Amino acid sequence: MLRILSLFTLLTLAVTESLAQDARYVSDKQYIPLRSGPGGDYRIVHRGIPSGTSLTVGRESDDGTWAEITTAAGTSGWIRTQYLMSEVPAKNRLRAAEQEAEQIAASNKALQEQLSNLESERVELLNQVNSTDSGFKQVSEELNQLKQVSGKAVQLDTDNRRLVEESENLRSEADMLKSENQRLQDKLDSEAFIDGALAVFLGVIITLVVPRLWPKRRKSSSWA
C-alpha cells in the first residue's frame, strides 16, 4: 500500500540533482520495468514504474537506447529511452485542464447566484421607489385640498409647511432609492459582463486546449 501511495505521489514531483541531469517523464504506457544495466538481459530491479511518473535521467548508453534514471523516491535503474518523453504526459495535462474547468464552472455558478440576488434587490428597490412616488402624489393632493377647504391662514400655513417638509423628505428618499437602484443596475451589468467573459474563456479552453491534450496513437514496441 505504501509503495502504491509513493508511486502516485511521484506524478507531481521532479528532481534535479546536477547540471548534467535533465527531467523526463515515463511515456503513456502502463508500467515500465527498471533493469540493473543498459540491456534486456540485465536483472529487473523494479517491475512497475507507472505512466506519468516524473524521474531524473543521469546518463544514457553509448547507443542511446537505454537511460539510467532515478525516481523521486530514490529508485534507480536503466530504462529504454523510447519510454521517456520531455513533456508532461497528456493525461496529466488533461487532468489539470479538467480541474481548471471545474473551478471556472464553480465560479460561474457563484456569479449566477450573486446575479440572481442582485436582481431581487433591484426589483425590491423599484417597488420602494414606486411606493415613494405614490406617497409623494398623495401628499401633494392633500396640500391642494387643504388650500381649497381651509379658511384659516395660520392653520393653512402650518399645514402647508408640514406637508412641504414631508414632501421634500419623500422626494429626497425617492432620489436616494433611485440612485441605489442605478448603482445596483450598474453592478448587475458588470457581473453579467464578467459571467459572459468566463463563459467565453471556458469555451476557448475546451475548444483549443482539450483537443491538443489527447496523445497521438503510437506503434507498439516489443520488450527487449
Answer yes or no: pTM beyond 0.85: no
Domain segments of the chain as ranges: 2-88, 91-213
Reading the block at residue 182, the C-alpha cell is 442605478
Q: List per-block mean pLDDT (blocks of 10 residues) for the chain, which spans 224 residues.
A: 46 41 57 88 86 86 92 89 78 72 86 89 88 80 71 72 87 86 84 82 76 61 49
- State the pLDDT at residue 20: 44
Tell whether the torsion through CA atoms of 107, 112, 115 and 121 is positive or negative.
negative
For residue 173, the model assigns a pLDDT of 86
Secondary structure in 3-state letters for 151-209: CCHHHHHHHHHHHHHHHHHHHHHHHHHHHHHHHHHHHHHHHHHHHHHHHHHHHHHHHHH
The pLDDT of residue 5: 43
Looking at residue 152, its pLDDT comes to 63
Written out in words, the top-level CATH class of the domain with range 2-88 is mainly beta
The DSSP secondary-structure symbol of 34 reads E
